[in-house]
Amino acid sequence: MTAFSSFLFNYLNGVTANVYEPVSVATRAAEVWAHEPWLAIGWLALGMAVMLGFLVVIGMGLIYGERKIAGHFQCRLGPMRVGWHGLLQVIADTLKLLVKEDVVPAKADKVLHVLAPVLAIMATLLALAIVPATPWFQLIDVNIGVIYVTAVGSIGVLGVLIGGWSSNNKWSLLGAMRAGAQIISYEVSATLALLIIVLFAGSLQLSTIVESQADGWWIWRSHLAGIVAFFTFLIASTAELNRTPFDLPEGESELTAGFHTEYSGMRFAFFFLAEFINMFVASAIAATLFLGGWMPFQIAGLDGFNAVMQAIPPGVWFAVKTGGLIFLLMWFRWTFPRLRIDQLMGLEWKFLLPVGFVNLLFAAVLILMGWYFAPIPA
Amino acid sequence: MIESILDNNLITFLILLVSVGALVGLFIGLSVFLGPKRTSKVKDSPFECGWIVTTDAWRPFPIKYYLVAILFIIFDVEVAFLYPWAVSFGNLGMAGFISMMVFLAILFVGLYYAIKKRVLDWR
Amino acid sequence: MSVKVKTLDDLTLPPPGADSPLSTQEYFINMGPQHPATHGVLRLLLRLDGENVREVIPVLGYIHRGIEKIGENSSYRQTIHLVDRLDYLSALMNNWVVSMVVERAAGIETNDRIEYIRTIMAELQRLQSHTLWWGVIGMDLGAFTPFLYGFRDREYATDIFEETIGARLTMNYIQPGGLMNDIHPNFVKRTKEFLEYLKPKIDEYDELVSGNAIIQKRLVNIGILSAEDAISFGTTGPVLRASGVPYDLRKIEPYGVYGKVEFDVAVGQAGDSWDRYIVRVMEMRESVKIIEQLIDNIPEGDYMTVKVAKAIKPPEGRYYGHLETARGVIGCFIVSDGKDKPYRFHLRTPNFNNLWCLTKIAKGWKIADLVAIASSLDIVIPDIDR
């Protein structure tokens, strides 16, 4: 066992020290606040601008990517008409949604009906702020990063729930109830999976967790526990994102459009955009915690290879890992059919949750006995 | 003083909250401003596949969803307990491990009980 | 003795005590007429308890066009152009059943060439219908990709039809006494190409959908229709055969040239959604087999044995004929009073009976299962309403 694991460790993880010192934008602003307050404000303004720009790019890029990928999965081309290879299609769609009528049903709870998509998108955007995209750009880096992500992320379910309920439509209500039951159930598993990495890294701060993977990504380093946790997180976050095979809250062949049946125009677009940015956040968190974030891929002993890998900027590493996971989620969506609500609940409470707990136990034993691949940072 | 607040990311978070809120508000305002507003009785009625709405949607809903929510509360609170434990697990050693395992075992009995009580049986 | 007939209003009355805030959880919801899963304008009135379906009440009439009545005011040849709008995925079979009855009534003989072409066309139509259905059941279960794969493969058959017939969906080709026109010179070649194309695609269907664990979870042991129920509901076609009753008119009362070809009748065992699914996939393979046996052996001859200009006037009497469409048995009943128009024109369509077994087998399952079961019954709404 020891020989095998040390072989694996040497093979996969002998990694040179990383050269980057992660600093969040907030920290930069704090450093210069005392003597140059304007510079601090400049940093913050730049951070916000980049954040919002980032947001638009991610949203539009993902929608375009999804439509193109779906098209090619389905033996068609996807958008081709607006712009080169349909590149401007998303902009055209946004403009169209912008000038559409914003219908609020007469019997709906109007305040909540307007509030719901705002909640959904705000939660998503706030979660985006903590993603450590590169060592030099992370908007906020709180010491309870993992909790922040789960906490802010779970405000999103409120948006869905309120939206479905306030519409006063039975299909919407069914969709919202399904969403509520599904998202909160899978949240437990997702959080448990993240907990494994917290256990190994000994920190909740995302930048620290990334740094702790300088000696190897957690998915490899923690024997099987990391891999199990990674797949648990992948399944659970697919369910939290309401994507196929867990797209029951929308379930367009069952519930017409599910929780957003009564939404139109921009507020429908917000639900839609929230789903896509959520997908990015979930993939980014998975990449950060399990796949080393912006850390390059290294193999012990192959110095030339490692040098080439290190020459690739960390932002690219992050984008590749996140993009790969997003592609995986899209692949799921365009391949799988939908589960049924009781099968969904059974999968979570009777399978994923026990597996998550056993995995936690296993990870705790690993750490207690010192059977991990590399020392755990103090 | 202000540095420490900034360093706690609180200000940044608040600024982000405001700017994101402004962006969302801007888009909703734009769409209200740009979009048409033509209402009619049929258009403003809830969609029920093109038929007259028979019963109101706001009525007591089956308890199964609620039971799932209760289960979630139990397990989420438990996970919340697990986080500080996980962070300081390196210092807790065997005692921390055993006490948490006892805690988990009790929870697991609860889950088993819930499953046996057919909380998740959606018949 | 008077019988209290339950009207729709009686059925949709709120259950007793529904006005007290906590007493009941059941509610009514309209699935349709505008709903993605009803594949047309069918209205299913559901009584639900949360997600569980307590009762299904199909409400018809949203696409009623009075085809039978129009048929009584049209000549026998004109009737052909009405029936392709019934089950638009079995247009040629619908043509054929009317032609069959009129030929029987008026004593019109056809030749071998006509029967060969009719049989090949009918089997091509069955393939076209089943590929579309395969895509639709995938979409109803939440997988969108099979839908486009099904349409992609169906397109080849549709192109073949277009070349010979001129239409792609509502085709009028088979008429009393023969066919509207001869097959296109490319027909044989393209049909063979299509079969060679389709055979690996059916294996692909198995890989993409049939072998998927979620699909199996969603179909196996769901919506079981026992053989007794299937018979007493009057279901036919794949729905009946999935329940284990090997009733296929192509075998039992061979028409066309079905007597001359070798094929198996696909039969299920349990009568669940999965059996209804797999029976249709098996039927696709059988259809390929049938066409392969016929396509090279189309005899020479005329495509029409009577003059079109001459009005058909069957002698007085009652005539009935039936055949197997992609969905089951379509029967055509004609009462003739010796004139050029039928006195009474009636059709027994398979989808009406197939739909009605939904009221029994969907009970107690979830909404999602209802959608899956309805999809596995493969109903076409215009065929129900006529």
Question: Residues C295-324: pLDDT tens digits?
Answer: 888 888 888 877 776 778 888 888 998 888
Token pair, residue C29, equals 């919801």
- Where does the pLDDT of residue A135 fall: very low under 50, low under 70, confident under 90, or very high at 90 and above? low
Nearest-CA distance A65 → chain B (Å): 23
| Omega of the bond leading into A377 within 30 degrees of 0 (cis) | no
Least confidently predicted of A103-112, A257-266, A291-300, C103-112? A291-300
Spell out where B58-102 has E strands: none
Q: Which residues pair with C275 in a beta bridge?
A: none
Nearest-CA distance A242 → chain C (Å): 12
Judge whether residue A30 has pLDDT over 70.
Answer: no
Amino acid B6: pLDDT:
54
Amino acid C8: pLDDT:
61
Judge whether residue C256 has pLDDT over 60.
Answer: yes
User: Secondary structure of C212-262 in the HEC alphabet?
Assistant: CHHHHHHHCCCCCCCHHHHHHCCCCHHHHHHCCCCCCHHHHCCCCCHHHCC
pLDDT (average), residues A363-377: 68
Judge whether residue A67 has pLDDT over 70.
Answer: yes
- Where does the pLDDT of residue A353 fall: very low under 50, low under 70, confident under 90, or very high at 90 and above? confident
The overall longest dimension of chain B from CA atoms, in Å, is: 69
Q: Chain A partners of B46 at a C-beta cutoff of 8 Å?
A: 105, 107-108, 167-170, 172, 262
> What span, in angstroms and rounded, lies between the C-alpha atoms of C95 and C256?
13
| A48/B108 touch (CB, cutoff 8 Å), yes or no | no
pLDDT (average), residues C86-96: 88
Which amino acid is present at C276? R
Judge whether residue C338 has pLDDT over 70.
Answer: yes
**Residue segments in chain B with a per-residue pLDDT below the cut of 70:** 1-9, 12, 54-55, 123
Q: Chain A partners of B108 at a C-beta cutoff of 8 Å?
A: 354, 357
Q: What is the residue whose two structure tokens read 């003059």? A: C307
pLDDT (average), residues C123-134: 90
> What span, in angstroms and rounded, lies between the C-alpha atoms of C195 and A228?
45
Give the helix ranges, DSSP H, for chain A. Answer: 2-13, 25-33, 37-73, 89-98, 110-128, 145-153, 155-166, 170-201, 206-211, 218-221, 223-240, 265-290, 303-311, 314-333, 341-346, 353-369
Least confidently predicted of A290-294, C236-240, C332-336, C352-356? A290-294
Amino acid A342: pLDDT:
83
Amino acid B57: pLDDT:
72
Judge whether residue C122 has pLDDT over 50.
Answer: yes
| Omega of the bond leading into C33 within 30 degrees of 0 (cis) | yes
Judge whether residue A305 has pLDDT over 80.
Answer: no
Least confidently predicted of A309-318, C58-67, C165-174? A309-318
- For A124, left (φ over 0), alpha (ψ -120 to 50), or beta? alpha
| A341/C138 touch (CB, cutoff 8 Å), yes or no | no
A141 burial via Cβ count (<10 Å: 0-12, 13-18, 19+):
buried
Nearest-CA distance C374 → chain B (Å): 17
pLDDT digits (tens, 9 = 90+) for A323-339: 899 999 888 888 888 88
> What span, in angstroms and rounded, lies between the C-alpha atoms of C43 and C46?
9
- Range 72-101 of C in CB contact (< 8 A) with B: none
Judge whether residue C231 has pLDDT over 70.
Answer: yes
Give the Å distances, CA to CA, from A91 to A59, A61, A96, A136, C109: 11, 10, 9, 30, 64
Judge whether residue A12 has pLDDT over 50.
Answer: no
pLDDT digits (tens, 9 = 90+) for A191-215: 888 888 888 887 888 877 877 777 7
Phi then psi for residue A196, to 5 deg, are -55, -45
A231 burial via Cβ count (<10 Å: 0-12, 13-18, 19+):
middle
**Mean pLDDT, all residues of chain A:** 79
> What span, in angstroms and rounded, lies between the C-alpha atoms of A127 and C327?
52
Judge whether residue A4 has pLDDT over 60.
Answer: no
- Non-local CB neighbours of A250 within 8 Å, separated by 6+ positions: A175, A242, A257, A258, A259, A260
Q: What is the residue whose two structure tokens read 């909540």? A: A112
- Where does the pLDDT of residue A81 fall: very low under 50, low under 70, confident under 90, or very high at 90 and above? confident
Sorted by where each starts, the structural domains of chain C and their CATH numbers stand as: 8-59 (no CATH), 67-383 (1.10.645.10)
B90 touches A at CB < 8 Å: yes
Q: What angle do CA A175, A181, A183 make, to 5 degrees?
A: 90
> What span, in angstroms and rounded, lies between the C-alpha atoms of A262 and B57?
13
3-state secondary structure of C54: strand
| B54/C12 touch (CB, cutoff 8 Å), yes or no | yes
> What span, in angstroms and rounded, lies between the C-alpha atoms of A131 and A141?
8
Please report the sign of the dihedral spanned by the C-alpha atoms of residue B61, residue B65, residue B70, residue B76.
negative
What letter does residue A22 receive in the DSSP assignment? Answer: -
3-state secondary structure of C128: helix
Amino acid C4: pLDDT:
63
What are the residue boundaries of the structural domains of chain B, listed by start? 5-116
Give me the sheet containing C329-336, strands edge to edge.
C317-324, C329-336, C344-348
| A122/B21 touch (CB, cutoff 8 Å), yes or no | yes
**Mean pLDDT, all residues of chain C:** 85
CATH number of B5-116: 1.20.58
Which residue has better confidence, C20 or C44? C44
Q: Chain A partners of C217 at a C-beta cutoff of 8 Å?
A: 339-340, 343
